[in-house]
Amino acid sequence: MTSAAPARTTAPESTVPGAGVDGSTTGQATPASPQTVGGHRGEPMGSRSHTDGAWQEKPVQTRSERFTSVKVGDFDQPSGHELEWKLTPIKLVADLISGELDGTPVEPSADDVDGYTLSWVDRTDLRVGSAGLPEEKASANAWSAFEKALAIDVTSETPTAFIVKRDGLGSGARAAHTVITAEPNSRGLVILENAGDARLTENVEIVVREGAHVTVVSVQEWNDSAVHLSSHFAQVGRDASLRHIVVSLGGSVVRLNPSIHLSGQGSNTDAYGLYFADAGQHLEQRVYIDHEAENSRSRVKYKGALQGEGAHTVWVGDVLIRQTANGTDSYEENRNLVLSEGTRADSIPNLEIETGNILGAGHASSTGRFDDEQLFYLQSRGISEEEARRLVVRGFLAEIIQQIGSAAVEDRLHRAVEAELMIAGAASAAAGTDAAVSE
291 or 369, greater pLDDT: 291
Long-range contacts of 368-372 (CB under 8 A, 24+ apart): 368/6, 368/336, 368/337, 368/338, 369/3, 369/4, 369/5, 369/6, 369/337, 369/338, 369/339, 370/4, 370/337, 370/339
Picking from 404, 297, 285, the residue whose alpha carbon sits closest to that of residue 334 is: 285
Residue 252 has pLDDT above 90, yes or no: yes
* pLDDT above 90 for 429: no
pLDDT tens, position by position, 146-204: 999 999 999 999 989 999 999 989 999 999 999 999 999 999 999 999 999 999 999 99
Q: Residue ranges per domain, the chain?
A: 18-86, 101-370
Q: In what order do the strands lie in the sheet with 282-291?
A: 116-122, 148-154, 173-182, 199-208, 227-236, 253-262, 282-291, 312-321, 344-353
Residue 38 has pLDDT above 70, yes or no: no
> What is the percent of the chain where pLDDT is above 90?
72
Residue 303 and residue 397 in contact, taking contact as beta carbons nearer than 8 Å: yes
> What is the model's pTM?
0.85
Torsion of CA 408, 413, 414, 418, to 10 degrees: 140
β-bridge partners, 244: 216, 271
Does position 40 have pLDDT exceeding 70, yes or no?
Answer: no
In DSSP notation, 130-195 reads SS----SHHHHHHHHH-SEEEEEEE--SS--EEEEEE----SSEEEEEEEEEE-TT-EEEEEEEEE
Residues 103, 146: contact at Cβ < 8 Å? yes
Report the pLDDT value the prediction gives residue 439, as an integer from 0 to 100: 52
Residues 273 and 303 sit within 8 Å (Cβ to Cβ): yes
In this structure, are residues 336 and 313 in contact, taking their beta carbons and an 8 Å threshold?
A: yes
- The contacts of residue 350 (CB under 8 Å, 6+ apart) are 12, 13, 63, 316, 317, 318, 319, 363
- Average pLDDT of the chain, as a whole number: 86
According to the model, what pLDDT value does residue 379 have? 80
Strand-pair category, 161-166 with 282-291 = unpaired
